[in-house]
């Protein structure tokens, strides 16, 4: 694929994306509207010039942004669909978020407290998910928070993010980065900082700005502004409610070790107020309407089915409980009848607070509590290899992969131990 000029972009990328109008640009990148010709869906195509990246020594930063965005797939984080490259450019095909920056909304004036709360709840959900993956954003600010067509918040720009593997021997990060008005006091210092606690300070500044319409720490002289940040020297306007004032003060605590944690934020009275309870997500609606069918007997597997279920021609994974790390499914064989398998799954569901839908051969479990990516939903299907020999396939349908792995390892595997058939060595 050839570029049509030094600063221009081809109108067709890899025969897959048709590039349209310019949506915006920064120092190192331009963002275009693009259409996937295979699906007809619109995307945002971020185009980065390789020469510029190399010239300023940002190669590692771009690589990090790609690896981080592949890790953090969450409803409140802009999704990276794929990355492509030509001789001179790198192309990021990303989720197109049409509602603009949250910054432009605040620039018109402060938000109502209930509106600010919804945005803050979504921000904390995204940040909590990043931290659970060992990812620290380090440049959270309203300009990096976009809104979709439905007004949902989407975190973007992971160019300055850090991973837990970037921690020094003291277990801290040491690179000073971020936007001055939103940066935590410990980041300005030279003694290292906890990325999670620094992100929460930035969340505190954002919450203040949403409720006030202006920054908590302001001064024309940046050194004077840093002094205010160090001391935590700010005042809440009189229209802040007592609960919001209390939360902002705990977030903008200049001492990292006493700063509020995400676990305490989500338990705070202000955060928990006005959480929508009646709105069902798409996944919850699908579960409610799911019909397990009327099959009376497990489907009998022929040789081709067995091979397709196994890893290549090695059939052992069907008959031995093996750890399937990084995979969202597990299979096991059993000589117990299907009714016993279903009873075991129902026991697991009851102990783990799952709702259950079932037939004679299919079981669907859905968590009653929301996790980092909504409610965890798991499906189990029973197949017959022989009349008294069954294979059970368990898959994650929705929810967070880490929460699914923890559920399988801590609850599902131990509960099924008694009925899992394992081959005895010859």
User: Which structural domains are found in the chain, ordered by start?
Assistant: 12-95 (3.30.200.20), 102-272 (1.10.510.10), 282-416 (3.30.310.80)
The phi, psi pair for 312, rounded to 5°, reads 70, -135
Q: What is the Cα–Cα distance from 222 to 204, expressed in whole angstroms? A: 20
Residues of the binding site for ATP: 50
Helix (H/G/I), strand (E/B), else coil: 25: strand
Residues in the chain, pLDDT under 70:
1-10, 160-178, 275-328, 423-426
- Of the candidates 279, 299, 417, the one whose C-alpha atom is nearest the C-alpha of residue 362 is 299
Tokens 């801590």 -> residue? 410
Render pLDDT for 132-180 as a digit per residue (tens, 0 to 9). Answer: 888 888 889 998 999 988 889 999 887 766 666 566 666 666 666 668 8
Q: How far apart are CA 213 and CA 197, in angstroms?
A: 24
3-state secondary structure of 253: coil
What pLDDT is stored for residue 227 in this prediction? 92
> Is the separation of the CB atoms in 378 and 395 below 8 Å?
yes
Structure tokens that stand for 278 in this block = 């009646």
| Alpha carbon distance 120, 359 (integer Å) | 41
Q: Determine how β-strand 374-386 pairs with β-strand 299-300.
A: parallel
Tell me which residues are annotated as active site.
Answer: 139
Region of 222 on the Ramachandran plot (φ > 0 left; ψ -120 to 50 alpha; else beta): alpha
């Amino acid at each position: 694929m050839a570029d049509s000029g030094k600063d221009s972009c081809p109108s067709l990328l890899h025969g897959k994306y048709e590039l349209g109008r310019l949506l915006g640009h920064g120092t190192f990148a331009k963002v275009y509207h693009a259409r996937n010709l295979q699906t007809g869906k619109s995307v945002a195509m971020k185009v980065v010039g390789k020469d510029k990246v190399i010239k300023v020594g940002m190669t590692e930063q771009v690589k990090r942004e790609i690896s981080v965005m592949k890790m953090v797939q969450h409803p409140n984080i802009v999704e990276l669909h794929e990355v492509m490259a030509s001789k001179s450019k790198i192309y990021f095909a990303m989720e197109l978020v049409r509602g603009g920056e949250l910054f432009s909304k605040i620039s018109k004036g402060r938000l109502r407290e209930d509106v600010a709360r919804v945005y803050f709840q979504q921000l904390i959900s995204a940040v909590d998910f990043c931290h659970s993956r060992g990812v620290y954003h380090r440049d959270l600010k309203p300009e990096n928070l976009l809104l979709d067509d439905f007004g949902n918040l989407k975190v973007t720009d992971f160019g300055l993010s850090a991973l837990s593997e970037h921690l020094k021997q003291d277990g801290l990060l040491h690179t000073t980065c971020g936007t001055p008005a939103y940066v935590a006091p410990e980041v300005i210092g030279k003694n290292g900082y906890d990325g999670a606690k620094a992100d929460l300070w930035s969340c505190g500044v954002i919450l203040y700005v949403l409720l006030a319409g202006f920054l908590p720490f302001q001064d024309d002289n940046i050194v004077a502004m840093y002094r205010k940040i160090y001391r935590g020297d700010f005042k809440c306007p009189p229209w802040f409610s007592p609960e919001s004032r209390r939360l902002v003060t705990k977030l903008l605590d200049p001492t990292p070790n006493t700063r509020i944690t995400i676990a305490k934020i989500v338990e705070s009275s202000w955060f928990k107020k006005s959480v929508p309870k009646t709105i069902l997500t798409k996944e919850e609606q699908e579960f409610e309407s799911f019909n397990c069918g009327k099959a009376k007997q497990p489907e009998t597997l022929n040789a081709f089915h067995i091979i397709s279920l196994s890893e290549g021609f090695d059939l052992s994974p069907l008959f031995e409980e093996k750890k399937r790390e990084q995979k969202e499914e597990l299979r096991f064989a059993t000589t117990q009848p299907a009714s016993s398998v279903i009873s075991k799954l129902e026991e697991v569901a009851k102990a783990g607070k799952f709702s259950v839908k079932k037939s004679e051969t299919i079981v669907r479990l859905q968590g009653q509590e929301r996790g980092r990516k909504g409610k965890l939903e798991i499906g189990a299907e029973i197949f017959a290899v022989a009349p008294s020999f069954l294979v059970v396939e368990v898959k994650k349908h929705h929810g967070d992969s880490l929460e699914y792995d923890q559920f399988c390892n801590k609850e599902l595997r131990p509960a099924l131990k008694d009925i899992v058939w394992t081959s005895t060595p010859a």
